[in-house]
RNA sequence: GCGAGUGUGGUAUAGCGGCUAUUACUCCAGUUUUCCAAACUGGCUACAGGGGUUCGACUCCCCUCACUCGCACCA
């Protein structure tokens, strides 16, 4: 793993149809990547697994799918309009950039949060504030990480709306709706998988930091007194998730220290995966958000978001434990983890050791020789049968058999089914060769048993 | 956004102010081939985009876009 470079994986992902740079024929667009035929299936296998584990298989979960464009008040209540707006200023000499508000606070100036950019700029002049290196500072600039658009035909300040930078708020805004519809017992949760948009200052590292990304997220509403136990349960659930992805042995949990946490969070644990070339990077996080979000929405919206327990207990604003998974980062981790190099007959082999339940193609069917019509016909027959049974089955009849095996290895197909002359007649009539991707071992299996054997793993 | 660097077929690469732009693999078609990238024949595909200098630019200059590293950011 150590000598594998991220570039090798990026190349394979593009060459074989997993992930392409966005808008490529026009020179691309920074921070965007498109999923190709195999990538979209891999991604969908992951989201389906997630939805099954966290929503379908549980009694206490409710799925939602909220809009990307929301009432801008949502983002004022959540704090994003403020916190996504960073005033930056540049040291003219060293060209380093600093948070202007932090510089002012370091000078003991108070009330910085309430100041406009102009007011802060004026203070820099007035107090002759220098950079930490003692140099002159340039003009400050505002960095807003939220994408803006306009709702309706008129483009003015009143019509400004934002593309959501996270999916969480769509769940908080639907909290009341779901309670009204189902009145679930607490604890219960809302779940959502969806796109988010962040105008990153420096996107990059393949699909690690994107401007348009997908998040799989849960908001789990609880009694405040129970948060510690529930937090532990979700830590275990997160671990179980990474076990299902085959990543658990490469995941490191990181207890985020108080100073680095959002001010409303009492505990945050991030999950890191070790990527080639990048080292350990965050792929998921678990945060106890207290009642910060619902409370803020109750204040700003003027709507009562309290929950009244069915046993007649006192109404209260539920607290929230929030597990978040970066979908694209999970896909990338699965790809990186699967990327394997070994040797067959002294020849280097690159293959994707994808877990069978995630592999975009489960089985490939190939005739031993492509120009023998009777072989091809029999193979087509088996292909049709398996395709109906398993869905994700690929037909391969180009090149020679060894080449096709390698090609299927490279896209992570767990099993190849080869139809040869012994399938047509003789002692082993009606049996085929099943070749295992990881071991390259072959096994003779009768056609009748084929779908049982293959669907066992898939 | 700033600084530095890079940009040649799908991938990885060679090259030069001037011939039809090199090579390998991939891909496609055909011959061959009875189980691990065999061989042979043929074919498709590239100088990131735009402008300038020049008789002539892939090569030199400018702008744009993208990528890499560093700064900053990571809500």
Name the residue among A432, A271, A245, A266 with its Cα closest to residue A357: A245
ipTM confidence: 0.90
Q: What is the pLDDT of residues A36-91, one digit of tens each?
A: 999 999 999 999 999 999 999 999 999 999 999 999 999 989 888 876 667 777 77
CB-CB contact of A35 with A19 (8 Å): yes
Bridging pattern class, strands A85-90 and A61-63: unpaired
- Nearest-5° Cα angle at A167, A294 to A226: 45
Claim: this prediction has a pTM higher than 0.80 = yes
CA distance A272 to A282: 4
Region A451-458: mean pLDDT is 76
Check if the beta carbon of residue A281 is closer than 8 Å to that of residue A257: no
CB of A27 under 7 A from strand B? Answer: yes
Residue A181 has pLDDT above 70, yes or no: yes
Residue A295 sits at φ, ψ, to 5 deg, of -65, -45
Residue A221 has pLDDT above 60, yes or no: yes
Q: Nearest-CA residue to the C1' of B35? A: A401
Length A443 CA → B67 C1' (Å): 45
A412 vs A117: which has the higher pLDDT: A412
Closest residue (Cα, C1') to B1: A201
pLDDT tens string A370-395: 888 889 999 999 999 999 999 999 99
Region A213-229: mean pLDDT is 96
Does position A337 have pLDDT exceeding 90, yes or no?
yes
Q: Mind giving me the DSSP string for A167-208?
A: SHHHHHTTHHHHHHHH-PPSSEEEEEEEEEE---SS-BTTTT
A317 neighbors A294 (Cβ within 8 angstroms):
yes
- The partner residues of A123 in beta bridges, in order of sequence, read none
Least confident of A114-128, A205-219, A269-283: A114-128
Is A205's CB less than 7 Å from nucleic acid strand B? Answer: yes
Nearest one of A254, A228, A238, A241 to A319, comparing CA atoms: A228
A398 CA: nearest nucleotide by C1': B28
For residue A356, is pLDDT > 60?
A: yes
Amino acid A6 CA to nucleotide B7 C1' distance, rounded Å: 19
Residues A353, A342: Cα–Cα separation, whole Å:
11
The pLDDT of residue A258 is 84
Mean of the per-residue pLDDT values of chain A: 89
Identify which has the larger pLDDT, A340 or A145.
A340
Q: Which residues contact A53 (CB under 8 A, 6 or more apart)?
A: A240, A241, A244
Q: Please state whether strand B lies within 7 Å of residue A260 at its CB atom.
A: yes
Q: What is the mean pLDDT of residues A265-284?
A: 91
What is the rounded distance in angstroms from the CA atom of residue A396 to the CA atom of residue A419? 11
């Amino acid at each position: 793993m150590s000598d594998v470079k991220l570039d090798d994986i990026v190349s394979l992902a593009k060459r074989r149809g997993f992930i392409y740079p966005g808008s490529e024929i026009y020179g691309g667009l920074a921070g965007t990547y498109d999923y190709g035929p195999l990538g979209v299936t891999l991604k969908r296998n992951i989201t389906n697994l997630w939805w099954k584990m966290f929503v379908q298989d549980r009694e206490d979960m409710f799925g939602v799918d909220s809009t990307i464009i929301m009432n801008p008040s949502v983002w004022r209540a959540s704090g994003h309009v403020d916190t996504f707006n960073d005033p930056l200023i540049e040291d003219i000499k060293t060209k380093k950039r600093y948070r202007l508000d932090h510089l002012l606070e370091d000078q003991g100036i108070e009330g910085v949060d309430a100041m406009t950019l102009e007011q802060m700029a004026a203070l820099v002049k007035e107090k002759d504030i220098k950079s930490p290196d003692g140099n002159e500072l340039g003009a400050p600039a505002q960095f807003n990480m939220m994408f803006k658009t306009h709702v309706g035909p008129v483009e003015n300040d009143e019509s400004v709306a934002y593309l959501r930078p996270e999916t969480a708020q769509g769940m908080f805004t639907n909290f009341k709706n779901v309670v009204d519809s189902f009145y679930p017992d607490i604890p219960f949760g809302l779940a959502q998988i969806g796109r988010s948009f962040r105008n990153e200052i420096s996107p990059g590292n393949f699909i690690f930091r994107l401007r348009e990304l997908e998040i799989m997220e849960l908001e789990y509403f609880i009694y405040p007194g129970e948060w510690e136990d529930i937090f532990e349960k979700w830590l275990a659930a997160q671990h179980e998730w990474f076990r299902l992805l085959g990543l658990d042995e490469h995941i490191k949990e990181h207890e985020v220290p108080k100073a680095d946490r959002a001010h409303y969070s009492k505990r945050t644990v991030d999950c890191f995966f070790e990527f080639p070339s990048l080292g350990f990077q965050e792929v998921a996080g678990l945060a106890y958000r207290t009642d910060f979000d619902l409370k803020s929405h109750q204040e700003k919206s003027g709507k009562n978001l309290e929950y009244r327990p069915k046993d007649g207990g006192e109404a209260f604003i539920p607290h929230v434990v929030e597990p978040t998974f970066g979908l694209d980062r999970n896909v990338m981790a699965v790809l990186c983890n699967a990327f394997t190099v070994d040797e067959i007959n002294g020849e280097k082999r690159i293959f994707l050791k994808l877990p069978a339940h995630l592999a975009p193609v489960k089985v490939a069917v190939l005739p031993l020789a492509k120009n023998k019509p009777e072989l091809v016909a029999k193979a087509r027959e088996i292909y049709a049968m398996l395709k109906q049974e398993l869905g994700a089955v690929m037909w391969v009849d180009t090149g020679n058999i060894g080449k096709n095996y390698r090609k299927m290895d490279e896209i992570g197909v767990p099993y190849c089914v080869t139809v040869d002359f012994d399938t047509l007649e003789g002692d082993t009539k009606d049996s085929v060769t099943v070749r295992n991707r990881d071991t390259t071992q072959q096994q003779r299996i009768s056609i009748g048993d084929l779908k049982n054997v293959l669907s066992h793993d898939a």
